[in-house]
Amino acid sequence: MTRIDIERLTVSYGAAAVIDGLSVEIPAGCFFTLLGPSGCGKTTLLRTIAGFAQATGGVLRFDGADMTHVPAHERGIGMVFQDYALFPDKTVFDNVAYGLRARKIDKKTIATKVGAYLERVGMGAYAARYPAALSGGQRQRVALARALVVEPRVLLMDEPLSNLDAKLRIQIRESIADLQREVGITTVFVTHDQEEALAVSDRIALMNRGRIEQLGAPEEIYGRPLTAYVADFIGAANLIDVTLVEAANAQGQARVRLQDVELLVAANGQGVGNSTCIAARPEDLRLAEAEARAANGVRGVVERRRYLGNRVTYRVKLANGQPITVDEPGRSGGRREGQTVTVMFDPAATMLVAR
Amino acid sequence: MSRRAPTVWIVLSALALALLVVFLVWPLFNLLASSFATGKGTGQTGWARFFSDAKYLTAVGNTLILGVIVTASSTVIGVTLAYVTARFNFPLKALVAILPLTTLIVPEVIAAQTWLMLLGNNGIVTRSLGNYGIDLPSFYGWPGLIIVMTFIYYTYVYIGTLAAIKGFDAQLEEAAQSLGTSPGRSVLHVMIPVVMPAILASSLLVFTLVVGNFAVATLLGHKVLLLSVLTYITFNSEMGSDPIMQSTLASVSIFIVAVTLFVQRWVVGRKRHEITQGRGAAPTRLTGLRSALLAGAASLVVLISVLPLLTLVVGAFTLTRGPVMYWGQFSFASIERMLISAPDPLLNSLRFAATATAIGIGFSVIVSYLVVKKKNFLTPAIDYLAMLPLAISGTVLGIGLVITFNTGFLAMTGTASIIVAAYVIRRMPFGVRNASSTLYNIPSSIEEASISLGVPPVATFFKVVLPVMAPAIAAAAVITWTTTVAELSASVVVYSAGLETAPIQIFRLIDTGLTGRASAYGLALVVMIIAPIVVATRFFKIDLFQSR
Ligand SMILES: Nc1ncnc2c1ncn2[C@@H]1O[C@H](COP(=O)(O)OP(=O)(O)O)[C@@H](O)[C@H]1O
Ligand SMILES: [Mg+2]
């Protein structure tokens, strides 16, 4: 198992820095996900770790050894690509055996190892086939076996599920996660799909314009977003501008003003004067009768109601025009459109975030 | 890329660029420079003489006129035939499918020769009609030039247009019709604009080929002065004494072709419509009179196209005495004589073309790989130079090579190497284009997959890229072979005694009127061309036209 250290890494194409002084430590054996919108530099970072893109500054280490300028083929990586990248003129067996043959391993060992890994990804019966005769999911399984059979130090995957349909995506995703845990290999996984990231990762680095915006376990990223960008990218969050009245108290709560009421929210580690924005997820909000003088509530009018079977989604407009989305569980959401209601904020689940 | 790997590619790029500069840029530079030199005897530059002597301007005028006429006639025949075969089913349609092969199989010099055997002063048709008191007008000059070139070059337009029509989504046309346009108008307004770039591109290609044509122009031109012929004559008769004029004429030819290619690029670049992927129109089955007419017309075109081949076979086995052919009396004499007493031209052709094909394909693959997959600061120049020979006729290239490598550290004149060099350079653009289009379709990810598995970049090229390219390389090799073995216009300029190739031998025999013996060599040449095609398509199932 290999630890990856990245220090002040910069990658530029021409004048523009695509990766901009990025530092991160990826623990040994970790399933580490680079998550972010298209164009934020995920692929570039992954390819720099692989050695296919050159760092223009900074250092990359595997277990402390400087890898920054080691050629890709000497890094001991395994790679899985979005387009599978199987060798079209070679059978499934020969594809998986390719890396072993390059290592001059004897035939018998190759046959045993290839067989074992094909079995592991559930492709044992397809050894003699050519890639063209496989479905997308099967191809990606073969690609996974090909990458793992050489027992690389790190496994790198660039959107390996993007070309698959929804159902397969979940199946292969689970296979990858299981296999990673079984083999215990340090894995860097690139995706733009937040659900995928939340489902399989030990740690997620949410990227924004060549930098890591927030790094943490899935629960932290989802439950404690530190910036409006993170809150917005993962899950749908209501981002509401407020005025800070009182910074964090002993319970870690801050007091903010929204229209004519004051709300208690989680200070979320934000410093004083740092933020005037709160994030609240629709499922963490509740609606109450307008008359109820409940604490931590703001009045608004139901503008739209959408019945979704297991829940009802409301759009409520506050007096200042700010729209807020509220998800209420249950099958019989009772508010009507046009009704005046109070939106109830949960102090623990409403976060002060940086804009 | 890693630190060490780029140096390999940069070194290769520098090497490729150096070769291109030495064998292409330098000769061209010499040509242009020499056209601006002042002659010792005349005290004038080539350009001063060019503009003061009506002979030269007439030749340019005639060349342009011929180019326009042949381009127009080839386009009419090629486009009509393409439209008809794409949209209608009629009896004998399968015959039309062999058309693309005829241009490949019948070298221009043989086409010119066989047309003369039919319609020349001593031609079969001329003679037999003469027996009935019907005198055909002379085939030499304009009629011969126009007819022969048209039937050589219309296939280029046919192939280009057919591909475009097949790719054109018939639904667009139906949409136009459903909006109330008549079928005829919808063809005019919807299909033509979409297919037009392909037609224009192939037409302009034909124009450049006519301007550069040497074999037909020399054998059939007679009193019609043409640029390529004049260039060759200037070179051949006054070699050493007047290299200035030959360089000037060569420069004019380069200029004409360069302008045409520039226009082509501009037109195609501006008018490229995104052709949405869709179903091609199902051909309409025709019946009755229309079907019979169409079948007749199409077969006539096909027949005329394969006529040279038939004439050639018959001619090779016909009894001859000197220039006289005894039609109807069969004999193996010409064949025997060729094989027993003078097989050298055939052996030379085999040797030179095989060497050139091997070098050319190897070079094309490497250059394409650099240009497509390993871009660096040198590759744009390489890419540009590799396409440059498209703008140079064989005659011009030959003269450039001769004046450059006559002496000096690379004295190749008089050796086989200069012929091979001419072959390689002339066919390089096709090889590079072919290999590039294949490489563009190979995702870089499979190379990266290989490298990630521990195989260094250069080994990856051999283990992963080359095997995937193999079928395309084989197809390109066959095409390169067929076109080099038939090459005449450059090799006739650069060859020296004892190094005659089959096309050169044919050309010389025709020039001295020995048609029967020329036919024997022609037949052997056609066999040398067809054999690899048959082997490739029959036994290896290679699609020769896959990446065209
Ligand atoms: N080879 C390249 N040359 C120039 N710009 C590039 C190159 N590769 C990527 N970029 C740019 O770098 C940015 C990040 O790209 P990428 O790493 O592919 O993003 P992601 O994988 O997150 O979508 C994009 O703006 C992209 O246009
Ligand atoms: Mg990407």
Indicate if B237 and B146 belong to the same structural domain: yes
**Disruptive mutation site among B452, B460, B465 for chain A (greatest number of A CBs within 10 Å):** B452
Within this chain, do residues A293 and A309 fall inside the same structural domain, yes or no?
A: yes
- Whether residues B28 and B93 share a domain: the answer is no
pLDDT lower than 70: segments of chain B: 1-6, 39-43, 99-101, 104, 167-190, 238-242, 268-283, 286, 408-409, 541-548
Residues A205, A98 within the same domain: yes
B488/B395 Cα distance (integer angstroms): 9
- Quick check: A104 contacting B, CB < 8 Å? no
Residue recorded with tokens 């690379």 = B410
Domain match, A195 and A119 both: yes
Same domain, B130 and B164: yes
Q: Residues B332, B221: one domain?
A: no
Q: Which ligand is nearest to the CA of A40?
A: 1
DSSP structural state of residue B45: B
Structural domains of chain A, count: 2
Residues having CB within 6 Å of any atom of ligand 1? A 13, 18, 36, 38-44
Q: How far is the CA of A201 from the centre of ligand 1 (A)?
A: 24
What are B8-46's pLDDT values in tens digits? 889 999 999 999 999 999 998 988 888 777 766 666 777
Report, as an integer, the average pLDDT of A209-216: 94
Same domain, residue pair B358 and B229: no
Contact A103 B454 (CB under 8 A): yes
Per CB-CB distance under 8 Å, the chain A contacts of B467 are 87, 89-90
What is the average pLDDT across A133-151?
Answer: 94
Q: A109 and A15, same structural domain? A: yes
User: B471 vs chain A: nearest CA distance in angstroms?
Assistant: 11
Report the pLDDT value the prediction gives residue B169, as an integer from 0 to 100: 57
Helix B379-387 × helix B416-440 angle, to 10°? 120
Q: What's the CA-to-centroid distance between A9 and ligand 1, angstroms?
A: 15
**Together in a domain, A273 and A170:** no
pLDDT of A118 > 80? The answer is: yes
How confident is the model at residue B177, as a pLDDT? 62
Query: Which residue's alpha carbon is at the smallest distance from atom 5 of ligand 1?
Result: A13
The residue length of chain A stands at 355
Q: Which residues of B touch A152 (CB under 8 A)?
A: 452
Task: Name chain A contacts of B466, Cβ cutoff 8 Å.
Answer: none
Give the ipTM of the model, two decimals please. Answer: 0.88
Do A334 and A222 fall within a single domain? no
B52 domain residue, yes or no: no
A332-343 pLDDT per residue, tens: 667 888 999 999
| Together in a domain, B300 and B204 | yes
Q: Which of A227, A259, A279 is the last residue of a domain?
A: A227
pLDDT recorded at residue B544: 64
Q: Is residue B46 part of a domain?
A: no
B378 belongs to a structural domain: yes
Residue A350 burial (CB < 10 Å; 0-12/13-18/19+)? buried
State residue B367's pLDDT score. 93
Residue A302 has what pLDDT? 93
- Last residue in a domain, options A190, A208, A227: A227
Task: Report the residue of chain B nearest A147, measured CA to CA.
Answer: B453
Q: Is B47 among the domain residues?
A: no
B125 falls within a domain:
yes
> B281 and B161 share a domain?
yes
pTM: 0.83
Predicted local distance difference test score (pLDDT) of residue B276? 45
Rounded to 5°, the CA angle A98-A103-A107 comes to 70
CA distances from B165 to A243, B98, B193, B279 (A): 66, 18, 11, 11
Write out the residue range of the structural domain in which residue A150 sits: 4-227
Final residue of a structural domain among B262, B282, B310: B310
In this structure, the answer to whether residues B18 and B107 fall within a common structural domain is: no
CA of B408 to the centre of ligand 2 (A): 55
The answer to the question of residue B296 being in a domain is yes
Question: Which atom of ligand 1 is nearest to A34's Cα?
Answer: 22
Query: Counting atoms of ligand 1 from 1, which one is nearest the CA of A45?
Result: 17
Task: Give the long-range contacts of residues B527-530, CB within 8 A, separation 24 or more.
Answer: B528/B346, B528/B349, B528/B350, B528/B353, B528/B485, B528/B502, B529/B104, B529/B105, B529/B107, B529/B481, B529/B482, B529/B485, B529/B486, B530/B105
Largest CA distance in chain A: 80
CB atoms within 10 A of CB B207: 26
Output the residue whose Cα is nearest ligand 1's atom 21: A43
One domain, residues A42 and A179: yes
Closest atom of ligand 1 to A42 CA is: 22
Q: Say which amino acid occupies B353.
A: A
A243 and A336 inside one domain: yes
Domain that holds residue B125: 58-310
**Looking at the domain assignment, is residue B50 inside a domain?**
no
Ligand 1 atom having least distance to the Cα of A158: 21
B148 and B13 within one domain: no
Higher pLDDT, A257 or A156: A156
Total structural domains in chain B? Answer: 2
Q: Which of B260, B279, B310 marks a domain boundary?
A: B310
Is A146 in CB contact (< 8 Å) with chain B?
yes
The CATH number for A292's domain is 2.40.50.140
- A167 interfacial to chain B (CB closer than 8 Å): no
**Which of A189, A206, A227 lies at the terminal end of a domain, its last residue?**
A227
Whether A194 and A249 map to the same domain: the answer is: no
- Examine the fold and report which residue of B271, B294, B310 is the final residue of a domain before the chain moves on: B310
